[in-house]
A and B are shown apart, each in its own frame.
Chain A
Amino acid sequence: MSKRRLKGWKEIPMGGMVTEPGSSVEFDVSAWRTFKPVIDQSKCTKCGLCWIYCPEAAIVIKEDGRYEVDLTFCKGCGICERACAPRAITMVKEESA
């Protein structure tokens, strides 16, 4: 897990303005989860239900059409596992670091 540091007061722009849209991607939510989704690519039918139901946009579509999990943003809720019709997604317990 990459540890991203929040900005200090010297780096924040004057007035505390948020200058970059969507800057919440800098925040690491990976410590929130207990289980992580693992996609079995041989079972995946690429229906995209995990992608449209994921609350976090943590499922990303690669250029070759594969669906993969971005573990930096996954909160481990398990919605994708239940949405997956061919049961290609399983929730695996995180190993302790």
Chain B
Amino acid sequence: MSTAFRTIKDIPKEEYFAPGNRLCAGCTAATAIRQILKASGRNVVVVTATGCVEVATSYFPQSAWRVPWVHIAFENAAAVASGIESAMKALNRKKKSDERIHVIALGGDGGTFDIGLQALSGALERGHDLLYICYDNEAYMNTGIQRSSATPYCAAATTCPPGRLSSGQSTQKKDLVAIAVAHGIPYAATACPSYPFDLMNKVRRALDVEGPAVLHALTPCPTGWRFDTDKGIDLGKLAVMTGLWPLYEVVDGVTKLTVQVPRREPVKRYLEVQGRFKHVKDEDVKRIQERTDLLAAKFGLGPVRQ
């Protein structure tokens, strides 16, 4: 099962995520799901909470999924996934089926950070053998760019608009991987579709471990972040290169950086591409840079390029 993806020839040609879905042009969440399903193969049940991906891929009377797929309400992706995992385990025990399947729960940042956190916490605590993937586009993009608790500091959203008295989102992004690791789970990691081999190897490793695994993937959203549709992959790379999105994995509590950044780019380069940070003043840029420096020191990233 566990073969590492090293070159482009190792990646399977099969597409389990069909084209013709209604995701926006340039949506990197679609890239991420393609890569996830290529890594997982077809013996998988995908459970999707409400979100961009759910509404755009199951537009009646069509479906973009070529693997078994369940849509459930906003809050219980992890709960339904643990139910499917337990049912499959019972069928195996009673010798009614000898199929070995993996269960992947897929939630957006609203369905993971805000609404589904309780169900996710329960599933991690009970120790079900599932993989929870959060595709993080940093706001409720599906309903019209409302802020979520994954929205970063100073970003503009329709419910935290910048103006004379406000500079956008006033709070920090939650650290989902730290919350997941606090449950004592065997595998948690961050990923980004701009680094496809890193993401696919992490999906493989997460499916291989016994017990719950959490993967947190940053997926730039051209509609909500206000950038040109062709820049999504570049922005993901820039998020990693600035140190705002360190790519690491936590295996049994031991943190390991998977993509090293020897010379970090200044965060200003990441912020100035996006329309949602258009209003940001110099002192806020300085504050974001200081916070990023702390994050980089925590994970051992290199110094900022001068």
Contacts and interface: CB of A to CB of B under 8 A. Distances in A.
Interface residues of B, number: 43
Contacts of B65: 21-22
Chain B interface main SS type? loop
Residue with the highest number of chain A CB atoms closer than 10 Å, among B35, B64, B230: B230
Interface string A20-46: 011111111100110000000000000
Contacts of B25: 32-33, 55, 75-77
Contacts of A24: 18-21, 57, 59, 62-64
B66 A22 contact: yes
B30 interface: yes
B15 interface: yes
A81 to B, nearest CB: 6
A4 to B, nearest CB: 9
B275 interface: no
Contacts of B270: none
Interface string A32-69: 11000000000000011101111111100100000000
A interface residue count range (under 10 / 10 to 19 / 20 to 34 / 35 or more): 35 or more
Nearest to A54: B31
Interface stretch (B104-112, B177-185, B231-239): B231-239
Given A21-B65, A22-B63, A79 B230 contact: yes
Interface of A: 6-7, 12, 16, 18, 21-29, 32-33, 47-49, 51-58, 61, 70, 72-73, 75-79, 81-83, 91
Given A24-B62, A55-B26, A57-B19, 14 more contacts: A18-B62, A21-B65, A24-B64, A25-B18, A26-B20, A27-B21, A32-B25, A33-B25, A54-B31, A55-B31, A56-B19, A57-B34, A61-B13, A83-B233
